[in-house]
Amino acid sequence: MKNVYIIGSKGIPANYGGFETFVENLTGQKKSPALQYYVACLSDENSTFSYNGATCFNVPVPNVGPGKAIVYDLKALKWVIAHVKENHVQSAVVYILACRIGPFLAPYLRKLHQLGVACYLNPDGHEWLRAKWSKPVRHYWKLSEKMMVRQVDLVICDSVNIEKYIHQNYESNRLQTCFVPYGATVAREPGPISADQQTWFDNRRVALNEYYLIVGRFVPENNYETMIKEFMQSQTQRQLVIVTNVEHNKFYEDLEAETHFSQDRRIQFVGTVYDQKLLKVIRENAFAYLHGHEVGGTNPSLLEALASTPLNLLLNVGFNHEVGKEAAKYWTKEAGSLSQLIDEVDTWDDNQRQEYGVRAKARITQAYNWDDIVSEYEAIFLGENA
């Protein structure tokens, strides 16, 4: 039996979140009886429970501000070490999601190796490039990434471009990497919309198949400024529906002061949608999806869009092109690029749009389906990929 300890997600059951959805699918679609999963869960209580056949261990963490995630990962590692010792676990792997604990990892890793436990890492994207972090925090993220990549036994990248970046920046004789993508589930033909779901559209005066859609965190590196400015310059009469955790913060207020987007009747911020069935319906019934993420990794919202929305308009950076390939249309941050693309596709008939939808679903089925991804991970954990 190979025991796999997963730390770094908020835990399962998963309501939302990339890593959480990954762990949900990894455990829920487990195939090999030779694997036993243990999943760290952020909680207020210290207990364990079973879910998807995995042992979930709650890790209570005091509210210490920005350092809470670091404390969470370290306390989870401490739990793993104690569990391996007390239960005389003979064959185990720790899989750490994200590079938060680089400066603190060494003593924990030393104990794990003494116990015969391997340590794998998913480096996620370029967290150190996110505009929300101050310069000292960005420096910490970059240092932590460097220290973790150089210490762990295997780096599992969910993006080909991230794997290239890791080798370009951290090449060494002991560096071992592999690529396993994140996944999505291709939507079947849209079914009937429930009365509650239709009410959501009616209350916002949003017509089915007559809106452009953005889903993602409201942060500068997701290029909301470019997308909103370009949409305002376009001639479309369709709406722009923005599903995001919008708050009237400085970024929001500065963007409003510069663009006056609130005066454009087409643009509507609708808040965050946590109901996954409703969000799926919102995606399926969009005329087109706009995607401006650029800080790295395989973005879950992009995969979900390709799996659900017929027409996807993506910022042309390596991470997005790697995923979308010929199944999407692309724009740049150059003035006029996106607005001209919107004006172009706005005249398309349904057949042209659905042609891209067929390509998008085929792309997900071919390269990003959970069934294959779970098989790849199980082979790695069981040492069958060597």
Say which DSSP state 173 is in: T
* 248 band by pLDDT with thresholds 50, 70 and 90: low
Given a contact cutoff of 8 angstroms between Cβ atoms, the answer to whether 64 and 71 are in contact is: yes
In a domain, residue 231? The reply is: yes
Q: Which domain holds residue 7?
A: 2-183+369-381
Contacts of 278 (CB under 8 A, 6+ apart): 196, 197, 200
Residue 258 identity: E
Say which DSSP state 335 is in: T
Q: Tell me what pLDDT residue 53 has.
A: 95
Given a contact cutoff of 8 angstroms between Cβ atoms, the answer to whether 230 and 339 are in contact is: yes
* N- to C-terminal Cα separation, the chain: 18
Say yes or no: 174 and 201 in one domain. no
Contacts of 165 (CB under 8 A, 6+ apart): 126, 296
Mean pLDDT throughout 180-205?
A: 88
> Given a cut of 80, is residue 187 above it in pLDDT?
no
From 203, 191, 192, 230, select the one nearest 214 (Cα to Cα): 230
Q: Tell me what pLDDT residue 178 has.
A: 96
More confident residue, 142 or 287: 287
In a domain, residue 56? The reply is: yes
Say yes or no: 205 and 248 in one domain. yes
* 250 band by pLDDT with thresholds 50, 70 and 90: confident
> Given a cut of 80, is residue 297 above it in pLDDT?
no
Q: Tell me what pLDDT residue 200 has.
A: 96
Least confident span in 6-20, 196-210, 232-246: 6-20
The partner residues of 240 in beta bridges, in order of sequence, read 212, 267
Say yes or no: 174 and 268 in one domain. no
Q: What DSSP line would sit under 15-55, residue for residue?
A: SS-HHHHHHHHHHHT---TTEEEEEEEEESS--EEEETTEE
In a domain, residue 259? The reply is: yes
Given a contact cutoff of 8 angstroms between Cβ atoms, the answer to whether 17 and 364 are in contact is: no
Say yes or no: 208 and 351 in one domain. yes
> Given a cut of 80, is residue 282 above it in pLDDT?
yes
Given a contact cutoff of 8 angstroms between Cβ atoms, the answer to whether 104 and 77 are in contact is: no
In a domain, residue 188? The reply is: no
In a domain, residue 386? The reply is: no
CATH code of 279's domain:
3.40.50.2000
Containing 176, the helix (H) or strand (E) segment is none
Given a contact cutoff of 8 angstroms between Cβ atoms, the answer to whether 100 and 69 are in contact is: yes
Mean pLDDT throughout 184-189?
A: 78
Say yes or no: 66 and 76 in one domain. yes
In a domain, residue 240? The reply is: yes
Say yes or no: 102 and 239 in one domain. no
* 307 band by pLDDT with thresholds 50, 70 and 90: very high
Which residue in the block uniquely carries the two structure tokens 């909103």? 228
pTM: 0.89
Say yes or no: 38 and 99 in one domain. yes
**pLDDT tens digit sequence for 252-273:** 888 999 999 999 999 999 999 9
Q: How many domains is the chain partitioned into structurally? A: 2
* 38 band by pLDDT with thresholds 50, 70 and 90: very high
Say which DSSP state 174 is in: T
Whether residue 13 has a cis bond before it, omega within 30° of 0: yes
* 131 band by pLDDT with thresholds 50, 70 and 90: low
For 357, what's the count of Cα atoms within 13 Å in the CB-facing half-sphere? 21
Say yes or no: 10 and 37 in one domain. yes
Q: Tell me what pLDDT residue 128 has.
A: 60
Q: Tell me what pLDDT residue 129 has.
A: 61
For the chain, the average pLDDT equals 92
Q: Tell me what pLDDT residue 249 has.
A: 77
Say yes or no: 116 and 19 in one domain. yes
Mean pLDDT throughout 328-336?
A: 97
Say yes or no: 36 and 164 in one domain. yes
In a domain, residue 244? The reply is: yes
In a domain, residue 190? The reply is: no
Say yes or no: 59 and 87 in one domain. yes
Containing 141, the helix (H) or strand (E) segment is helix 135-151
Alpha carbon 99 to chain centroid distance?
15
> Given a cut of 60, is residue 386 above it in pLDDT?
no
Say yes or no: 250 and 110 in one domain. no
DSSP E strand boundaries for 103-210: 117-122, 154-157, 177-179
